[in-house]
Amino acid sequence: MRIYEVGPRDGLQNEAALLPTDKKVELILALADAGLEKVEVTSFVSPRWIPPLADAPELCARLPKREHTTYSALVPNQKGLENLLKTDLRECAIFISASETHNRKNINRGIDEAAELFESVVAAALEAGLRVRAYLSMVWGCPWEGDVPVDRVVELTRRLLGMGCYEVSLGDTVGYGTPAQTLHILRHLFEAGIEPGRLAMHMHDTRGAAMANCLAGLEAGITTFDAAVGGLGGCPYARGASGNLATEDLVYLLHGMGVATGIDLEKLIDAAELAQALVGRPLPGRYFQARLAERRG
Ligand code: HMG
Ligand code: MG
């Protein structure tokens, strides 16, 4: 079972203020020290589009290595990859949407044009020795286009894996999914010959169903789940997107099922406390808030 922590990227990309780089580094180290093996730390996107992550180069330069933790960052194009390659990061992630409208709003390109562009970005990243992950957004539906055809999801997932991405993280960007729908989508992907080990689930908790969807995915054979410390997160180019499933809630549930994660839940609560102090407002994570109240007596 693998948890892919996206809070420092997916969470902090939504913050209005540019938060201090040193504090972000502190948060990332707290997550690594809690035992998270994968942490998405930032994005090498246009600082004009995502001002809160404009400090990506500086952040990566200041980030101490942790042996058991791999850091990754988003890249939207060759320029982002070139900038990432100036750092010590050994992994990157590309991102495309299954919704044409969302893709245009998010990266200013149609799906086909973006997919073509990513072919060369992924090839260059692999050539440079990086591992490449891919995100596919709006898999469970889109606020502008409504239902997203599952055949398009299958086709794009195949295409992303065909480029050489090691895994496709299926995004429920605005939290529409229900467990029955999750099983339906996964069944189509499996029937198309895509193995569960090549997929991850990236569920936003906008409608409170992220955990139920992950449980459905777990039962279907998915073993990698994205989550954000304290439930930080959203997508600035997707109306209505709220935070990701909270990492502590997922870890608590998995430990309760006897599933080992290698994560120290108490240290994760310390990290969530840092995240909460950093953004300056209560975070939505349920386990986090309950444990914090217990700690404060
Ligand atoms: P564009 O305006 O079409 O870019 O944006 P362009 O290629 O025309 O270039 C315009 C200017 O941007 C140029 O500068 C470029 O150099 C610069 P100028 O010559 O005008 O001074 N530029 C860059 N600068 C720094 N880094 C770069 C870069 N690229 C161009 N990489 C672009 C296209 C893709 C750049 C823009 O749309 C962008 O950065 N979008 C990022 C949006 C984003 O980060 N969204 C959130 C992440 S996705 C998400 O949250 C969903 C996910 O969580 C999964 C889920 O929940 O479903 C992953
Ligand atoms: Mg997201």
pLDDT tens column, 255-269: 999 999 999 999 999
- Residue to mutate, 42, 45, 106, 199, ligand 1, most ligand atoms under 8 Å from C-beta: 45
pLDDT of residue 108 exceeding 70: yes
Convert the pLDDT of each residue in 79-105 to its tens digit: 999 999 999 999 999 999 999 999 999
Q: What pTM does this model have?
A: 0.97
Q: Across 146-229, where does the E strand assignment appear?
A: 167-172, 199-203, 224-227
Structure confidence at residue 281 (pLDDT): 87
Contact present, 257 and 1 (Cβ < 8 Å): no
Contact present, 273 and 296 (Cβ < 8 Å): no
| Encoded tokens for 14 | 């939504």
Structure confidence at residue 268 (pLDDT): 98
- Ligand 1 centroid vs 77 CA: distance in angstroms? 8
| Encoded tokens for 178 | 């229900």
pLDDT tier, 64 (very low <50, low <70, confident <90, very high otherwise): very high
Q: Give CA separation, 221 vs 31, 75, 103, 182, 216, in Å.
A: 26, 28, 28, 12, 9
CA atoms within 13 A on the CB side of 246: 24
Element (H, E) at 123: helix 111-127
pLDDT of residue 190 exceeding 90: yes
Mean pLDDT (whole number) for 205-224: 97
User: What residue owns the CA closest to ligand 1's atom 56?
Assistant: 173
Structure confidence at residue 12 (pLDDT): 95
User: What residue owns the CA closest to ligand 1's atom 30?
Assistant: 46
